[in-house]
Amino acid sequence: MLTEQRTDKIINKECDKIAIPISSRNNNIFKKFIEDLLLKINYLIYFKTSAYWKFIKLIKPINTPGEVIWANPNLINYITFNNEHGNNLAHLSEVASGCWDLNLVKIKDLEIYKALYDCIKNNKPLCSTKFYNPNIKDKSEFEKQGVVRTWEYISAYEYETRNKKILKLIEDIKEKGYKTQLELHEVPNDEILVKVDRNGKLIFFNGIHRFCIAKILNLKEIPVIVKARHIEWYNFKNELMNYIKTLRNNLGEDFYLTAKFTHPDLQDISIFQEEDARFSAIEKNKITKDGTLLDIGAGFGYFSSKFEELGFYCTAVEKNPNLFYFLKKIKSAEEKSYEIINDDILNICNNSLKFDLVLALNVFNNFLKTEYHYNKFINFLRNLSVKEIFFENSSYEKENRKYFYKNLSDDQFIKIIMEHTGLLKWEKVLEYNRGRKLYHLWKD
């Protein structure tokens, strides 16, 4: 059985290595030249040599340098000014210990964010905000101290040129949407950079103009690249990958995950994943717009996470202690608020349960194996007050079902559910991989 790892380790001397809050990317011409050269080399290696890219993905499946992931900018709320890992885009996906992830600043507290917000939302020129610095007017003064402080202010010397570029960037993103660097024919790994802290939360690191604009425009997702991961989060990812591999070894080659992970930095654990069509089918056919949702057999929390984003108050019940361990960690990393319960749903159904929507996806079949569990299941249905249920029957083959206490066809199963819950109508809403069927049951 897995045990939860502690994350409140004693802070060590590395905590004193906090850099001053300025960008150090362009502090001299030579460094800029070297950086650009390294970026172009990376472009040739990572994106032009497909064999090399596949090799890197093979040896670093959960920490692939330069791999683009998609993240919601509204869920990235803090910035690190700690330049312990440098700002060289040629060194990506580092694994780092220490406490660099504990000294953070809210992005919305930055003057550049406030200025861009006023520019976009209130149509104010940048020169009318506190972000504007009128004191740096000539080239010598700008080169002396202004060129490395792009996050702190926009100077009078550079205002005309830089302001024009910023306004153009805002206009392009508004009209054409957010494009990847590859789509823009730029160096592909020069995307917005993030770091991932010990708990799996994404921290902004580089690409401030693009990121602030995307956040202010409330974009759903943007492409980012991981600059560094805290070793505690990296170990958790590795633990998750090994758990999935163990499941596959135990359950056979036909095992696969039926839903993608919702956490951005778990998207690269994709070896056994398939695109889940069930969420789209449920979202399209559900009657309830929002309210309470019971997710029975929640697994890694895919549906609870997705439906919370739609405004539902979700309760995720997961019996398996190993799955619950990962569910708890992922929920925390995503900063979700749905309730999680580590128990058998049949053990918490003695009192009346009231939910607007219930998800029973490939789980009710477990209650047909013995007479004891079947009787508890019937009691659960009788105590359940619900407006609609989305039901998916077992993936067991008929050969296995014949040993169950109740060997039910889909129609028979649906009839029993409706009889004991008071639901009146049903329809098949999806048939997908390997003949699996998803049904919708509702009252009226």
Domain annotation for the chain: domains and CATH numbers: 13-235 (no CATH), 276-442 (3.40.50.150)
pLDDT of residue 280: 93
Please indicate whether residue 191 or residue 267 has the higher confidence score (pLDDT).
191
Most confident of 32-36, 101-105, 212-216: 212-216
426 DSSP β-pair partners: 441
CA atoms within 13 A on the CB side of 136: 22
Is the model's pLDDT at 69 over the cut of 60?
Answer: yes
Contact 286, 329 (CB under 8 A): no
pLDDT of residue 298: 94
Is the model's pLDDT at 321 over the cut of 80?
Answer: yes
78 DSSP β-pair partners: 106
Of 74-83, 115-124, 173-182, least confident by mean pLDDT is 74-83
Give the mean model confidence (pLDDT) for residues 172-178. 96
The band of 25, judged by pLDDT with boundaries at 50, 70 and 90, is: very low
pTM summary value: 0.82
Q: Where are the beta strands (DSSP E) in 242-383?
A: 291-296, 312-317, 339-341, 353-361
What are the pLDDT digits (tens) for 393-404?
A: 876 555 566 788
Contact 295, 304 (CB under 8 A): yes
C-alpha 151, offset from chain centre: 27
Judged by DSSP in three states, 319 sits in coil
Separation of alpha carbons 316 and 339, rounded Å: 6
Quick one: how many helices (H) and strands (E) in the chain? 14, 16
Is the model's pLDDT at 85 over the cut of 70?
Answer: no
Is the model's pLDDT at 274 over the cut of 90?
Answer: no
Which amino acid is it at 205? F
Give the mean model confidence (pLDDT) for residues 155-168. 94
Separation of alpha carbons 376 and 439, rounded Å: 22
C-alpha 440, offset from chain centre: 28
Separation of alpha carbons 150 and 171, rounded Å: 20
Please indicate whether residue 84 or residue 212 has the higher confidence score (pLDDT).
212
Is the model's pLDDT at 307 over the cut of 50?
Answer: yes
Q: What is the enclosing helix (H) or strand (E) of 209?
A: helix 208-216
Strands 436-442 and 384-392, sheet pairing: antiparallel
Please indicate whether residue 90 or residue 138 has the higher confidence score (pLDDT).
138
What are the pLDDT digits (tens) for 91-132?
A: 788 898 999 998 899 999 999 999 999 999 999 999 999 999
> Measuring CA to CA, which residue among 198, 224, 184, 226 is closest to residue 91?
226
Please indicate whether residue 302 or residue 276 has the higher confidence score (pLDDT).
302
442 DSSP β-pair partners: 388, 425
Task: Give 435's contacts (C-beta < 8 A, 6+ positions apart).
Answer: none
CA distances from 110 to 45, 80, 117, 130 (A): 36, 12, 11, 10
